[in-house]
Amino acid sequence: MDTHLPAYSPKAVKRAWLALAGALGLLAIGTTNGLFVAPPEHYMGDVYRILYIHVPTAWNAMLALTFAFFSALAFLWKNDWAWDARLEAFVETGVLLSLLLCVQGSIWAKPTWGVWWDWDPRLTTTAVMLVAFVGILALRHFVDDPRRRAVWSAVATIVAYASVPIVYFSVQWWNSLHQLQSSPKTVDAVMVTPLRINAFGMLLLLLAFSSLRSQLARRRLARELAPPPAAASLALGGEG
Amino acid sequence: MNQVIAALRKELLLGWRGRAQAMAVIVFGSTLLLLLSFAVGPNATALRQLSGGFLWVSLLFASTLSLAESFRQEREQRALEGLLLLGAHPAALFYGKALANWLQLFVVGAALVPVMIVLYDPGLSGIGRLLGVLALGTAALSAPGTLHAGLAAQVRAQQVLLPLLLFPLMVPVLIASVRASSLLLLGDPMGQAASWALLLVACNGIFWPLCGLLFGYVIEE
């Protein structure tokens, strides 16, 4: 199968650094707003302020894994190495954000619910997602041949992502305690503004990290696929 | 369709010739059933309550052995490659193998049921329907199990990777199977077991077509 060779793009790296600076700026504004401007919540007091980082993390973790899913589909469809690099980047950032999400959730749950963990649909689904995608990172780590690594991790990503809604649904049936989602209509504007700023800040952070990571993956792919075409096809023929 | 039947026939023949392996898997599952009770202590009421969960956890752990075994010979003899060169359709190979794995897991599960009953003494009233849940649950286990076993068989760290990839996917199957089994074993006054069985049907409806579609990518390299 003929595939495009990935190219390292210094332009994309520059853009990623700009996005990172923007992300840090937005997060600084949003977090300062959330910590000092927004009023304490009626029932939870100041504890609720973690939501200004928790909710954006949750949104962006889901987003990162969704991007990973579409990268996997695009790789199988287009056979373009750039999608493999993106898949690797989005799975990694998605795993990182899911881990952060679980940690933040525990920090919030202890003073609010009195426990570190609860078998609530969203918590359990996040934890399952986390281990499922850590498994995919492990798979990528254990396969040396770039072609197989790309195809197999794309397959595993598609199956893992397809199972996320069933996991959520089944755990919801099984047990539920987490509060329902709030909508902007139920929350005052003073509280919504820092949340929105931080959500975009996290999004920029996600895109910046993913872009840097995918450039790194491209460099590695370029190195792995480096041997001249004749030798490469020989090696493929020997293994396949 | 003929290819699926041929592949299934091949798998069943191999499975029958290697029945000592299936026996070993059953013994392993029984050992797990025995061991799990030590995690709880000799509290008969608690053990009875948990018997359905123990059955499925044992079956899930034991399944990785039989799933991995189903690809061992293929890999050693490069048999899948041969079949693909003969023009066999990857999906046909998948469905043949997955159906054979389903049958094997169902047999293992059915063999573990009496062991579970002897050890934990749940009610006997729902046994017939429990076998139905067993059929649905092992089906939902065998489709993604076959896909990931085929994948893991070609990787260095096969023993670690198969459970690492498979178990997270099995969370809904495990929940639904355990809930349905427990309800059937311990009494189901609200008639909830059917809705859990429906969830298993839904898992099967998603996993069987999806994994069949993707299996070609896994073995065609």
pLDDT at A238: 46
Higher per-residue confidence, B96 vs B189? B96
Report how far Cα A159 is from the mean position of its chain's Cα atoms. Answer: 17
Q: What stretch of H or E contains A49?
A: none
pLDDT at A223: 85
Chain B CB contacts of A145 below 8 Å: 221
Chain B CB contacts of A123 below 8 Å: none
B55-90 pLDDT, tens digit per residue, is 999 999 999 988 988 888 788 877 887 788 887 888
Q: Does A48 score more than 70 pLDDT?
A: yes
Instruction: Show me where the domains of chain B are located.
Output: 2-219
Q: pTM of this prediction?
A: 0.85
pLDDT at A237: 52
pLDDT at A184: 60
Check if the beta carbon of residue B7 is closer than 8 Å to that of residue B97. yes
Chain B CB contacts of A69 below 8 Å: none
Are B172 and A158 a contacting pair at CB < 8 A? no
- Write the CA distances from A191 to A23, A39, A59, A187, integer angstroms: 20, 8, 17, 7
On average, the pLDDT of chain A sits at: 83
Measured distance CA(A154)–CA(A10) in Å, rounded: 26
pLDDT at B153: 87
Task: Please give the interface size between A and B, counted as residue pairs whose CB atoms are below 8 Å apart.
Answer: 96
Query: Which of the four pLDDT bands, split at 50, 70 and 90, describes residue A177?
Result: very low
With H, G, I as helix, E, B as strand and everything else as coil, classify residue A4. strand
Q: Which of B164, B175, B199 minimises the CB distance to A135?
A: B164
Interface test with A, best of B64, B141, B155 (most A CBs within 10 A): B155
Interface test with B, best of A144, A163, A176 (most B CBs within 10 A): A163
pLDDT at A239: 45
B134-174 pLDDT, tens digit per residue, is 999 999 999 999 999 998 888 888 788 999 999 999 998 99
End-to-end CA distance of chain B: 24
Q: Which of B161, B168, B210 minimises the CB distance to A142?
A: B161
Q: Does A52 score more than 80 pLDDT?
A: yes
pLDDT at A1: 46
pLDDT at A233: 58
Nearest to B66 by CA among B139, B155, B145: B145
Chain A CB contacts of B90 below 8 Å: none
B1-56 pLDDT, tens digit per residue, is 788 888 888 888 888 887 888 888 999 999 999 998 888 888 888 888 889 999 99
ipTM score of the complex? 0.85
CATH number 1.25.40 given to A10-224: no
Q: Which of A138, A159, A166 minimises the CB distance to B211?
A: A159
Instruction: Identify the contact set of chain B against chain A, taking CB-CB distances under 8 A.
Output: 144, 147-148, 151, 154-157, 160-161, 164-165, 167-169, 171-172, 175-176, 179, 195-196, 199, 202-203, 206-207, 210-211, 214, 217-218, 221
pLDDT at A234: 56
On average, the pLDDT of chain B sits at: 88
> Can you state the percent helix, strand and coil of chain A, rounding each to 5?
80, 0, 15
Are B179 and A240 a contacting pair at CB < 8 A? no
A80-109 pLDDT, tens digit per residue, is 889 999 999 999 999 999 999 999 888 888
Tell me which of A74-83, A117-126, A158-167, A230-239 is least confident.
A230-239
Q: Does A64 score more than 90 pLDDT?
A: yes
The rounded percent of chain A whose pLDDT value lies above 70 is: 86
Higher per-residue confidence, B178 vs A123? B178
Higher per-residue confidence, B84 vs A28? A28
